[in-house]
Structure 1
């Protein structure tokens, strides 16, 4: 990915600015491809993230604050994401019997099945995105990104 070519400039960009721009462009490409992979399933990347978090609970319900804490991209509209997933039948919401102010969210069996199909689509997309990298390259990238 040639940063200067993409942003259509001929001038030399300082390495610090170029790095930030480059990371932003890579993030945009990843989001674009992941979003496209999920489109046939009718869910957004954020909804997919909620479903994965709930699956990771292994049958234990989660509340909105747990979902917010574990989201890859932090957002304030988690309630709306959950509402959309409820309409699809992928999650259900219930009031906690011991604390009526607490709302618990679970993934449904329909949500689990749909998520398994989404996993396949995203795995294929990940492989496309990373096809030019060796395992050593990926380890190096992760080491460098850990410095953030």
Structure 2
């Protein structure tokens, strides 16, 4: 990928802050594109993959669509629509909440867990291959990104 100036064919930036924001946005797009290619053969989007991971983290305990929405990486995603699409693929199930009939509980299915297991190996391999950083650099960047968000 190289330098951001080469990637977007821009010689200079107004200031280093502007360059960092552009660099982060461009890198985000690079990472999403890279992961999307892994999910596409399984008819899955990165957002749907995120929902499945959230549900797997529940360890068999149902959760609500609003709870899923709160934990999504992309806060602009429509969790309800994503859950509906995953339900059509038999990757999740939706059930009326016994204590509140207005609420819907969502649970990952065995098929969803199996798909995550297959994809996890590919995602981990892709992460290592697409991040051209040492372990020390990865840890430093993680710390800096946490600091950036305050």
Please say if 1:26 is aligned against 2:64: no
Give the TM-score taking structure 2 as reference length.
0.92
In 2, Cα distance between equivalents of 1:76 and 1:115: 20
How many residue pairs get aligned? The number is 147
Q: What is the deviation of 1:11?
A: 3.8
- 4+ residue runs over 4 A deviation: none
What aligned pairs does 1:128-147 form with structure 2 within 5 A after superposition?
Answer: 128-130=129-131, 132-147=132-147
Which secondary structure does the structure 2 equivalent of 1:93 belong to? strand
Question: Which segment is superposed worse, 51-60 or 69-78?
Answer: 69-78
In 1, Cα distance between equivalents of 2:13 and 2:68: 42
What aligned pairs does 1:3-82 form with structure 2 within 5 A after superposition?
Answer: 3-82=4-83
Q: What is the deviation of 1:8?
A: 1.5
In 2, Cα distance between equivalents of 1:105 and 1:11: 48
Give the TM-score taking structure 1 as reference length.
0.94
Instruction: Describe the shift of the 1:145–1:76 C-alpha distance in structure 2 as closer, same or farther (beyond 3 A).
Output: closer
Q: CA RMSD, aligned part only?
A: 1.2
Specify every segment of 5 or more residues in structure 2 that has no aligned partner in the other structure, as ranges: none
Instruction: Describe the shift of the 1:113–1:137 C-alpha distance in structure 2 as closer, same or farther (beyond 3 A).
Output: same
Specify every segment of 5 or more residues in structure 1 that has no aligned partner in the other structure, as ranges: none
Q: What is the deviation of 1:97?
A: 1.5
